[in-house]
Amino acid sequence: MRNLRHSQALAGLQPLSAIVLYTPAVEHTLITNTAADYVQLQVPVIQQLYHWDCGLACSRMALQYLNRLNDEEFQKAIRELRLTKSIWTIDLAYLMRHFGVKHRFCTQTLGVDKGYKNQSFYRKHFDTEEYRVNQLFAQAKASKVLVEKCTVTVQDIQEHLSQGHVAIVLVNAVLLLCELCSSPVKYCCFLPIGQKCFCRNPDYQGHFIVLCGYNKASGSVYYNNPAYADRTCSTSISNFEEARTSYGTDEDILFIYTDS
């Protein structure tokens, strides 16, 4: 059950005319007022199972929101796409394409930034992943995976959400702070209960989240964090921007559309 305190805090005291809610179990209704003050999409929360599968958990949330999730087909897709314990945003774009979901992957880097080789988060798998990921970018157009090098603004994101669509965003979890959680998540590894973390306060920890709303009056962004199983989180726009534009993210954002 969702934490009641979270639900109350998210709703706030917005007038009903300014609130837009979407329920995935019914047909999506597009709003005409793109300047909606408050949007909260009813995206199901799915918790990640391991320290490395936050991107897959976010993909499952998006697919379930679109009523496209079939566990057997999802596992089959993972095998066919040869997804391993190193998941990049481009992998998630290919996953959406596999399910026939309309998408748009925006990034600052079309390929792998060689500077990441010296970053602890990427170092372990960099040499083997560089070629694989660069090949995915090179083959994207032929594979009908939409990738664009572009800058995305907060206004772009809000307009996307106001239409009932969702987005998967790569953030630096070290910087992302939920205003509603009583205690911060163990950002360094997101390990399942019982497993020890040996990280030493890294500067960057890549983590995927699902954007599901915003509140213009309070300057908040709402998101599902796959590190949790029971809540929707909230942070300030400034904190969200800091976390998603941090070095290491390439400002990756995967826009996902309901009209797929």
Rounded to the nearest integer, the mean pLDDT of the chain is 82
Give yes or no for residue 42 having a pLDDT over 50.
Answer: yes
Question: pTM of the prediction?
Answer: 0.82
Assigned token pair, 118: 């010296």
Tokens 């106001």, residue located: 162
How confident is the model over 17-36, as a mean pLDDT? 46
Domains (ranges, CATH) in the chain?
4-256 (3.90.70)
Note the pLDDT of residue 188. 42
Q: What phi and psi, each to the nearest 5 degrees, are found at residue 183?
A: -140, 145
Most confident of 3-17, 30-44, 105-119, 223-237: 223-237
Note the pLDDT of residue 115. 62
Note the pLDDT of residue 183. 61
User: Could you give the percent of the chain with pLDDT greater than 90?
Assistant: 64
What pLDDT, in 10s, does the model give residues 55-107?
999 999 999 999 999 999 999 999 999 998 889 999 999 999 999 999 999 99
What pLDDT, in 10s, does the model give residues 214-250?
999 999 999 999 999 999 999 999 999 999 999 999 9
**What's the pLDDT band for 130 if we cut at 50, 70, 90?**
confident
* Residues β-bridged to residue 234: 222
8 Å CB contact between 207 and 175 = no
Comparing CA positions, the residue from 10, 38, 43 lying closest to residue 24 is: 43
Work out whether the CA dihedral 99, 105, 111, 112 comes out positive or negative. negative
Q: CB count, 10 Å around CB of 244?
A: 24
Pairing of strands 206-215, 220-224: antiparallel
Note the pLDDT of residue 203. 83
How confident is the model over 119-141, as a mean pLDDT? 81
Mapped onto helix, strand or coil, the DSSP state of residue 21 is strand
What pLDDT, in 10s, does the model give residues 220-230?
999 999 999 99
**What's the pLDDT band for 129 if we cut at 50, 70, 90?**
confident
